[in-house]
Amino acid sequence: MITLAGIIGSGKSSLTEILAQELGTKPFYEPVEDNPVLPLFYRGNEIAAKRRANGEKNVSNPYAYLLQTFFLNRRFKMIKQAKKESNNILDRSIYEDAMFMKMNTAMGNATEIEYAIYKELLSNMLSELQYVSDDPTEDLMVMINVSYETMIKRIKKRGREFEQVETDPSLVNYYHNLLDYYSDWARSYDISPFLMIDGDKYDFVENLADRGHVLNQIESKLVELNKISAADFEQLKAKRKLKY
């Protein structure tokens, strides 16, 4: 299984689609458009931040735990489906979900009790899936690393109102915190092979040459992990030359 990781607006869904088409495998997307909790969560963050600014103590977001368990439940289902075949692709990692819950707890958006229950639920799910395999080459984690400026530009482009810093200024702090957490997460991730893509340098959505560079990086790693053959890699590159 190939999993894409990265902050909001890094291009995970776009690269998931591109990579699935390239490899002829199935993409599995994070539930956003059909997620009834996500707008409530952002609104809850805004309200909690204003109440804290006014001096209130122990103010949490009532939707933080609900949102993360929503994602966790959906991710659990998608992982079971994705692992039925080789090289299927998820556009976010279940381990990122845990990072989001950790950050929201540290920021006061979720309580320590909620975080403890969440961690226990996650542990039970991973045990059920046997997701952490004895074979360290089973899965590939691909992280798209972007700066704050690139993230904001892409968030503006896709136009979800509840994600805009102009609509909710408290998101500036939230997004910067998230970048810090992602940086720590990337340094400590050791569960499976890991590949970092420079999302500032390579515009794999709009620039076909950049797309080719990114696909070469990922496919070279798959060859290294014996998930595709060297001959298949050469065929994929040849097809791209004709297509692009």
- Which residues carry out catalysis? 91
Tokens of 53: 């600014």
Tell me whether residue 4 is exposed, middle or buried, using C-beta atoms within 10 angstroms of its C-beta: 0 to 12, 13 to 18, 19 or more.
buried
Closest Cα partner for 92 from 157, 13, 38? 13
| Residue 170 host element (H or E) | helix 170-188
The reply, when asked if residue 199 is annotated as ligand binding, is: no
CB 197, CB 217: distance < 8 Å: yes
The reply, when asked if residue 187 is annotated as ligand binding, is: no
Closest Cα partner for 41 from 151, 156, 163, 172? 163
The reply, when asked if residue 7 is annotated as ligand binding, is: yes
The reply, when asked if residue 10 is annotated as ligand binding, is: yes
The reply, when asked if residue 160 is annotated as ligand binding, is: no
The reply, when asked if residue 14 is annotated as ligand binding, is: yes
Closest Cα partner for 47 from 161, 171, 160, 179? 171
The reply, when asked if residue 30 is annotated as ligand binding, is: yes
The reply, when asked if residue 156 is annotated as ligand binding, is: yes
The reply, when asked if residue 241 is annotated as ligand binding, is: no
Rounded CA-CA distance 67/30 in Å is 12
The reply, when asked if residue 115 is annotated as ligand binding, is: no
Q: How many CB atoms lie within 10 A of CB 175?
A: 19
Q: Which residues are annotated as a binding site?
A: 6-14, 30, 42, 68, 92, 97, 154-158, 163
Q: Which residues are annotated as a binding site for substrate?
A: 30, 42, 68, 92, 97, 163
Q: Which residues are annotated as a binding site for ATP?
A: 6-14, 154-158
